[in-house]
Amino acid sequence: MVFIGMDHGTTGISFCIMSNEGEILDSFKIDREDSKSGKISAINEICRLNELGVETIITDHHLPPTELPAAYAIVNPHLSTKLLFKELSGAGVAYKLISYLYGYLGRSREAEDFLALAAIGTVADIVPLVQDNRYLVEMGLRQINQKPSLGILELLRNAKLSESEVNAGKIAWIIGPRINAAGRLENASLAYRLLTAQDRQEAIALAVQLENLNARRQDLTNRFFQLAKQQVDINQKILFFQDEQCPKGVVGLVAGRICEEYNLPCIAINTEAELCVGSCRSIEGFDITKALVSCSSLLKRFGGHAQAAGFSAKKEQLPAIKAHLERYAYDNLKDRDPRPILHIDTLVKLDELSLEVVTEIKRMEPFGEGNKAPLFLSENLSVLDWRVMGKEEEHMLVKFTDGERLLEATAFNMKAKLSPLMKDRLDIVYNLEINEYNGRRNLRANLVDYRIHK
């Protein structure tokens, strides 16, 4: 019997194969760009394990390639002809396997201990929160809020969330980024150790470490986002940013911020080595993976989804890749209206809003990809008061009024464009939440968009 240890570092996954006695039998590594494109593609690595007599079970949720590795078994919903729902996350697939194995052993209830992890992975993987995914997240959130593990509890305490209810949004914006910060900047095993910690002091120390890593990740993202804004050519239909110092674990975050800022697909590339690593983010209606397919002869490796992908390529090929994708994007986006589309659910007056309304809305949770929180529009409001928030003072807390009622709203990453409009009358688009602080509950809006009232 052997044990396969996996070390998720910033440049890839290292495998260490050991006997029961602790003897190292073999070790090898999958490069980061290979590991990000999906475990199911690790053909050479599985061959290596087969040579050592190790039977391997692969769980994966990506679309499978034409050639599959010779594993003992591959658990992937896309390989099934019977499953009606195939949009599970990687964590969801792993949970399904665990649940089946515990059921086979007659210990089905024990599988429920992993629901919190399945929920975190499902939300962080940005899969549609419908059907099986909705169930996993709903049940996992119940576990996080009622009986969190030591690691999750300390993570919440460090993020100042231990006294408030955790929902899918807080997983997406607070829990997920802290867990991911470990693999982005140092080593994913830090997050693993936190999530499996049985000793409170160890959990406290690891949670503090992840909190610090996340703060560093935020600083790096903001720094390179500002550099990218100076470098990208907004006259193109696809935006490129490349830098030798932008960490490989951060390029995807920078691409995402630029994509959101300009509503255009973006590719951010780490050019530190001769083999460069790129991360892509895209917009609705532009399949970035298909775009990469169109220049696959210029790439070393690539993979991903319609709106997020990654690749590696030789540095000398970058000018040709850029030129090709700029032509491809122009051909596919030249007739597109560049303005993002917001699907607003209803127009409301401030006196129609209440804690009771939000309570009713919460019955439709969990919200996320595929099940968006309702968007409201309120018109002709003035600003009563406002203040800046955040380490870089990039966020705002704004108090809007219609002359009679008041609505407090958070405006994330909007200070630069919104603050000059504080004397104008505005139309605002937002979703609603209940803000809990020091035992008090009040209505709060999350600002999504705004315009000067006409």
SS (H, E, C) the chain: CEEEEEEEECCEEEEEEEECCCCEEEEEEEEHHHHHCCHHHCHHHHHHHHHCCCCCEEECCCCCCCCCCCCCEEECHHHCCCCCCCCCCHHHHHHHHHHHHHHHCCCHHHHHHHHHHHHHHHHHCCCCCCHHHHHHHHHHHHHHHHCCCHHHHHHHHHCCCCCCCCCHHHHHHHHHHHHHHHHHHCECHHHHHHHCCCCHHHHHHHHHHHHHHHHHHHHHHHHHHHHHHHHCCCCCCCEEEEECCCCCCCHHHHHHHHHHHHCCCEEEEECCCCEEEEEEECCCCCCHHHHHHCCHHHCCEEEECCCEEEEEEEHHHHHHHHHHHHHHHHHHHCCCCCCCCCCCCEECCHHHCCHHHHHHHHCCCCCECCECCCCEEEEEEEEEEEEEECCCCCEEEEEEECCCCEEEEEECCCHHHHHHHCCCCEEEEEEEEEEEECCEEEEEEEEEEEEECC
Residue with more model confidence, 381 or 6: 381
Question: Domain for residue 306, yes or no?
Answer: yes
Number of domains within the chain: 3
Lowest-confidence region among 32-36, 351-355, 419-423: 32-36
| Enclosing domain of residue 224 | 150-228
Question: Domain for residue 391, yes or no?
Answer: yes
Domain stop point among 333, 358, 383: 333
Same domain, 317 and 252: yes
Domain stop point among 210, 228, 246: 228
Same domain, 223 and 248: no
Is 244's pLDDT higher than 70?
Answer: yes
What is the rounded average pLDDT for all residues in the chain?
88
Question: Domain for residue 126, yes or no?
Answer: no
Same domain, 364 and 432: yes
Same domain, 371 and 440: yes
Distance CA 315, CA 334 (A): 28
With a pLDDT cut of 90, the percent of the chain lying above it is 69
The C-alpha angle 280, 285, 288, rounded to 5 degrees, equals: 25
Same domain, 423 and 390: yes
Question: Domain for residue 116, yes or no?
Answer: no
Same domain, 375 and 434: yes
Same domain, 187 and 264: no
Same domain, 223 and 237: no
Same domain, 193 and 256: no
CATH number at residue 402: 2.40.50.460
- pLDDT of 66 reads 78
Question: Domain for residue 185, yes or no?
Answer: yes
- pLDDT of 187 reads 85
Same domain, 328 and 386: no
Is 13's pLDDT higher than 80?
Answer: no
Domain stop point among 228, 254, 284: 228
Task: List C-alpha distances in Å: 208 to 29, 96, 155, 178, 223.
Answer: 29, 32, 8, 10, 23
Question: Domain for residue 55, yes or no?
Answer: no
Confidence of residue 305 (pLDDT cuts 50, 70, 90): confident
Question: Domain for residue 407, yes or no?
Answer: yes
With a pLDDT cut of 70, the percent of the chain lying above it is 90
Same domain, 156 and 242: no
- pLDDT of 18 reads 47
- pLDDT of 49 reads 80
Confidence of residue 57 (pLDDT cuts 50, 70, 90): confident
- pLDDT of 15 reads 52
Same domain, 357 and 287: no
Question: Domain for residue 16, yes or no?
Answer: no
